[in-house]
Amino acid sequence: MSRWIPDGPAEEADMLRSLGLPSFDALFDDIPKGVRVARMGIGPGRTEPEVVADVDKILARNKPVSRFSNFLGGRISSRYLPAIVDALISRSEFLTSYTPYQPEASQGMLQALFEFQSLWVELSGLDVANASLYDGATAAGEAMLLCRRIHLGDRFLVPASLPWEEKSVLGNYGVGLGLKVAEIPFDPSTGRLDLEWVDREVRRGDVFGVLADVPNGFGLVDERVLDLKSTIGTVPLVVSADPLALTVLQPPGEYGADIVVGEGQGFGMALSFGGPLLGLMACRREHVRFLPGRLVGATQDVNGRRAYTLTLQTREQHIRRSRATSNICTNQSLVALAFVLYASSVGPTRLARLQADLAEKARALATALDGIEGLKVPRFTAPFLGEFTMELAQGNAVGFLDRMLAKGVLAGHSLSDPRRAVKSGPELVHVAPSQAANTADIRKYVKAAREALVPGPMGSA
């Protein structure tokens, strides 16, 4: 089929008549007008080269992250990608493998998924990992549902510091089942979890799961997470962990986590407007029947040779739809392959070194910002790893970040929930140096921050 299918007024009218719609605009009536773009401004009667030139002018208005000093973070990482990653995932046997859950899936793809699972098992310290989850936030949602399958209750506890986007996803996952998400308060000085509050809530008997993140939403390594399992007893513990941080931190399975989830984008995937992302998930062996997604196992064929096969698939193609456990995606196998290739090509020693470098940059920037009037850096006294949080004495975080952007610095992201009509609490900015950030970028950040904090014509907003 041609990539270009011509249509004219008659064909368009036929299509609209078939759809029962008065116009093409009516196709988008369910999308709020405020988020739609206006016409692209390409006039009629243009030649193809003229249209290409016009589109190129429009694309030139984009501002790629490479033009900025990048300290954005927010669970999404900008890292150097070894050329071997794209070279191998672009091979046709992987790139066009649409249905790798089918029996005819190649041994190569099955082995790649097995290696992907094995990597997350090793980092998480648990027994079994799956493949095919969308991203870290939905992996946390699936973990919440898994907790509900193995423990009764209607409340799921998460840190108040958890990013609001992830709390929103958890709320959406639970609404259909009548599950509630409650926020664990934190010590306003240290940023650590309030375990005494958790203990009281669990004793009420209606909590079916508790989630902690490592590092947490403030970038802190909260050592109180190590005591969380002994506090909640038989209630399942979910740890949402950064896979890079786990190259230098204790695996959550060693301190009692029943489920470990994470976001895998930083391992082999570019920013690409925020996607694709990759959900990571592992659990203890006794919960494997409740684990969503697909599991690849290793075995031997009739000739004694090592072979790989799909062992569990809790998906509606293979079981009764009413018993399907999750919302997953077959083609996440391609980004799972990128994860494996990235981790394998960089290697465990250099991954740990990368985390150490990011921690060193974060400490250098926090030290340089400390003492600037109008900033409290870091905001909390608990130790941080490769990212930290700072508080603005006046003005709001979004206004500050906009002024920093105008000076060529992606200075971080606001921790305020923009959906709340009334702001409450201090204005906090989360800062995470990228792998490319160097000493000059840190100096640029500090200089820009001094200037951005001075009330100017844009106001302190």
pLDDT in tens, 41-61: 777 788 889 989 988 988 898
pLDDT greater than 60 at residue 456 = no
117's CB contacts (< 8 A; 6+ apart) are 128, 129, 130, 131, 295, 296
Q: How confident is the model at residue 153 (pLDDT cuts 50, 70, 90)?
A: very high
Q: Which amino acid is at 118?
A: S
pLDDT score, position 98: 60
- C-alpha distances in Å from residue 281, one per residue of 120, 173, 221, 323: 8, 16, 20, 20
For residue 253, name the pLDDT band (cuts at 50, 70, 90).
very high
Please compute the mean of the pLDDT values over residues 12-33 and round it to a whole number: 91
Q: What is the mean pLDDT of residues 190-211?
A: 97
Q: Span 426-446, mean pLDDT?
A: 96
pLDDT in tens, 263-289: 999 999 988 877 789 999 999 999 998
Angle subtended at Cα 277 by Cα 271 and Cα 280, rounded to the nearest 5 degrees = 135
Place of tokens 């996803």: 169
pLDDT score, position 238: 98
- Single out the residue of 410, 381, 400, 408 nearest to residue 456, CA to CA: 400
Using CB atoms within 10 A of its CB, is residue 141 exposed (0-12), middle (13-18) or buried (19+)?
buried
User: pLDDT category, 422, cuts 50, 70, 90?
Assistant: low
What does the pLDDT average to over 238-256?
A: 97
Span 287-340, pLDDT tens digits: 998 888 778 899 998 999 999 988 877 655 565 566 666 667 766 888 999 999
Average pLDDT over residues 134-158: 95
Q: Which residue has the higher pLDDT, 366 or 291?
A: 366
Which pLDDT does position 196 carry in this prediction? Answer: 97
Q: How confident is the model at residue 460 (pLDDT cuts 50, 70, 90)?
A: very low
CA of residue 207 relative to chain centroid, distance = 25
Give yes or no for a contact between 326 and 95, defined as CB atoms under 8 angstroms apart.
no
Q: Measured between alpha carbons, how far is 219 from 237 in angstroms, rounded to an integer?
A: 20
Per-chain mean pLDDT for the chain: 90
pLDDT value, residue 323? 64
* Cα dihedral across residues 36, 430, 212, 240: positive or negative: positive
Say yes or no to pLDDT of 438 above 90. Answer: yes
Q: How confident is the model at residue 7 (pLDDT cuts 50, 70, 90)?
A: confident
Give the mean pLDDT of 168-187.
95
- Please state, in angstroms and rounded to a whole number, the distance separating the CA atoms of residues 164 and 6: 45
Residue 461 has pLDDT above 50, yes or no: no
Q: Residues, the chain, total? A: 461
Q: Which of 103-107, 149-153, 257-261 has the lowest mean pLDDT?
A: 103-107
CA 392 to chain centre: 26
Question: For residue 167, what pLDDT is reported?
Answer: 96
In sequence order, what are the residues at sequence separation of 6 or more whose Cβ sits closer than 8 angstroms to the Cβ of residue 292?
130, 133, 142, 145, 146, 281, 314, 325, 326, 328
Pure H helices in 204-318: 228-232
Range 214-234 average pLDDT? 97
Distances (CA, A) of 92 to 89, 334, 342, 354: 8, 11, 19, 31
Pairing type for strands 237-241 and 180-184 reads unpaired
